[in-house]
Amino acid sequence: MHISLEGKHALVGGSSKGIGRAIALQLASSGAELTLAARSESVLKELCDALEQTTGKSHRYLVVDYTDLHAYKSLIHSYVRKHPVDILVNNTQGPPAGTSLEKTNEDYQKAFDLLFQTAVYTTEQVLPHMQKSGWGRIINVASVSVREPLNYLVLSNSIRAALVSWAKTLAGDVGPFGITVNSILTGYFNTERLSALNQKKAETLGVSPDEVTGKLLEQVPARRLGRPEEYGYLAAFLASEQAAYLNGATIPLDGGLLRSY
């Protein structure tokens, strides 16, 4: 199966590293023109230049701070008016780790703005073009913790669950316009984010990060961490014409980690 995204413009959040970067690389290699969004301008510029050399297409980037919702809304509103989006990947950095006994009401509000408000607002901005053209793809990067909560990620557990429920509702509303909305439940992937979480957990437990990683791998039937490029493969498929009948899905990408179905 050949996936072609020629003629499509994709906006990929959190695309300077990790899963977001892997998604961006695969969408670009499939023919899409990209707008990368993240905090580090130097990294974004370097990635843009590299993609232009390998794909021969023009790509753009946006320097965004997902923790400043007001500024983010203003930037996205202005940008999308000039650059219509066909494929939207809702992805941001994760909120701080911690248990339900450690987090305050303010922490939950910040996580809500980061994970939920940014996704909903960005989607609102890109939908008119998708509806008018009769085609669109919205892909949400979520977590396996929305089905089986991880006690040290209470903010992510709670808010990403809201995001997935919203996405399922939205899928029913926009399906008649040729738009699909799907969410990926992220398992354990070899990223900087997972390394940071494992480091924090190791410090809390008084063990080495390698021990923490080993315990994680024991839970995964595949007995390994996911490779970021594997995430990109699924995202490219969801963005393609071949996935036109796949809508409102919540797809675990976790090596078999989840025990529920």
Here the CATH number for the domain that contains residue 83 is 3.40.50.720
Does residue 196 share a domain with residue 118?
no
Do the Cβ atoms of 242 and 1 come closer than 8 Å? yes
Residue 203: is its pLDDT beyond 90? no
Does residue 89 share a domain with residue 127?
yes
Does residue 232 share a domain with residue 197?
no
Within a domain: 217: yes
Confidence class for position 201, pLDDT limits 50, 70, 90: confident
Within a domain: 236: yes
73-109 tens-digit pLDDT: 999 999 999 999 999 999 999 999 999 999 999 999 9
Within a domain: 1: no
Does residue 72 share a domain with residue 50?
yes
Give the up-direction half-sphere exposure of residue 251: CA atoms within 13 A in the CB hemisphere.
Answer: 17
Burial (0-12, 13-18, 19+ Cβ within 10 Å), 152: middle
Closest-CA residue to 227 (of 22, 62, 4) = 22
Number of domains in the chain: 2
Domain extent, residue 55, equals 9-187+227-253
Does residue 216 share a domain with residue 90?
no
Residue 224: is its pLDDT beyond 90? yes
Q: Dihedral, CA atoms, 211, 215, 217, 221, nearest 10 degrees?
A: 160
Within a domain: 153: yes
Within a domain: 260: no
Within a domain: 88: yes
Name the token pair of 178.
Answer: 């040729």
In the 8-state DSSP scheme, what is residue 126? Answer: H
Does residue 153 share a domain with residue 89?
yes
Does residue 83 share a domain with residue 212?
no
**Residue 125 in 3-state DSSP?**
helix
Does residue 46 share a domain with residue 99?
yes
Confidence class for position 68, pLDDT limits 50, 70, 90: very high
Does residue 67 share a domain with residue 149?
yes
Does residue 220 share a domain with residue 162?
no
Residues 6+ apart with CB under 8 A from 254: 144, 185, 186, 187, 188, 220, 226
Does residue 232 share a domain with residue 207?
no
- Determine the residue type at 117: Q
Query: Three-state SS string across 53-118, please?
Result: HHHCCCCEEEECCCCCHHHHHHHHHHHHHHCCCCEEEECCCCCCCECCCCCCHHHHHHHHHHHHHH
Within a domain: 38: yes
Higher pLDDT, 75 or 197: 75
Region 199-204: mean pLDDT is 84
Does residue 39 share a domain with residue 81?
yes
Residue 30 sits at φ, ψ, to 5 deg, of: -90, 0
Residues 6+ apart with CB under 8 A from 153: 94, 97, 98, 143, 145, 197
- Determine the residue type at 145: S
Closest-CA residue to 139 (of 4, 253, 16) = 253
137-184 tens-digit pLDDT: 999 999 999 999 998 899 999 999 999 999 999 999 999 999 999 999
Residue 202: is its pLDDT beyond 90? no
Confidence class for position 45, pLDDT limits 50, 70, 90: very high
Within a domain: 3: no
